[in-house]
Amino acid sequence: MRAEIGRRNRILLMVTFVLLVVGTLAVYSASSFISIRQSSDAGSFHYLLGHLQRICVGLVVGTVAYLLPQRTWRALSPWLFLMALILLASTVVPGNPFAPRIKGASRWVVVGPLRLMPSELVRFSYVLLVAALVSQGQVSLRRPWGFVSIAVLGMIPALIMIFQPDFAGASYLTAVMIVLMFLAEARLSHLLLLVLFLLSLAAVGILSSRYRMHRILGYGHPTEHVQEENFQPYQACIALGSGGLQGRGLGQGRQQRGFLPEAFSDFILAVVGEETGFVGATLLLSLMFVLCLCGWTIAADADDLFSQITAGGLTASIAMGVAIHTGVVTRLLPATGMPLPLISWGGTNIIVTLASIGLLARMGRGGR
């Protein structure tokens, strides 16, 4: 049994390392053109250097997550969630100089060179908080009051995200919330009512926003408005299609040379598909599947409730990030900004993902 646990952790960490290497190559290829245009000092390495710095920070945070005992995480979970919630709320405070509007949304907290996306921290800390409350017997999701309290704790930050606005981030968090409730053995009737309620809210949110309506209409008519709301998905599909079976070759992609916006972050899978083809994109997603499979087996084999819920919730969060990014790039989902975990350029996402993997490895080791 111990040998099997060690082998699973080695697979988890080896796959993580390979994905970080692949991501570094992809970020460099996807960002080199725009780096040359925007930076005269670092040349084509401008975004790559920032990406490597974030990976180093993430590795340190992931190591700390691995070394800290579970009792420490349980004790810290309410404070981490409260801190993340305060940071998130600060992004919607009018006139906050530390939360500038970037591309029409105030989703980041910027202090000097430090730039954080609080929604990523909220999702991570919410998983820990729910696991701590349920495992310590403070909340039972079998009871209506316990179910409602956990739902409220998730919907408060989701509502704040809508005001940023970040409708996709709010949907992402509520999806993770539903998975956590399922893992915590909430009643299916309660979950069904919650899903119907959330779908009703989502419908109201879409119908009340012209921008969101355009996104949905563009998704329903993919061949129209290719110079407007369908521009990014259209260019992503061109990149994937032009890659063929084996791709154009590493560094030979064309779409990131001014055609595909956000090529090194929100649409990096399209770059991977163009340069390495269907084979390369499939191998990348297969590695992601192995990573998530390791996380699910850790959750299934955990000998305590805190580890089960935490490992399952963190794995679900990573898996949903992969699914949303892939769905957007392949036009299965409406366009939204969602990085591909461990691959895309983006500091907070990489750091939180590596912290999650560090915690998964800790729980996969067994013991408390």
**232-268 per-residue burial string, b: 16 or more CB within 10 A, e: under 16:** bbbbbbbbbebbeeebbeeeebebbeebbebbbbbbb
Give me the sign of the Cα torsion angle 19, 284, 355, 104.
positive
pLDDT at 159: 94
| pLDDT tens, N- to C-terminus, the chain (368 residues) | 555 667 888 999 999 999 999 999 999 988 887 877 766 565 678 788 889 999 999 999 999 999 999 899 999 999 999 999 999 999 999 888 888 887 778 889 988 778 899 999 999 999 999 999 999 989 999 999 999 999 999 999 999 999 888 888 999 999 999 999 999 999 999 999 999 999 998 888 777 766 666 666 665 555 555 555 667 777 878 888 888 888 888 877 777 776 777 778 888 998 999 999 999 999 999 999 999 999 999 999 888 899 999 999 999 999 999 999 999 888 888 877 789 999 998 789 999 999 999 999 999 886 56
Which amino acid, residue 353? Answer: T
List the one residue out of 103, 106, 79 whose CA is nearest residue 95.
106
Give the structural domain span for 325. Answer: 2-364
Strand partners, 109: 116
Contact present, 281 and 325 (Cβ < 8 Å):
no
pLDDT at 157: 96
pLDDT at 16: 97
d(CA 109, CA 367): 37
Domain count, the chain: 1
d(CA 242, CA 248): 8
Tokens of 268: 């990096």
d(CA 157, CA 80): 14
pLDDT at 1: 52
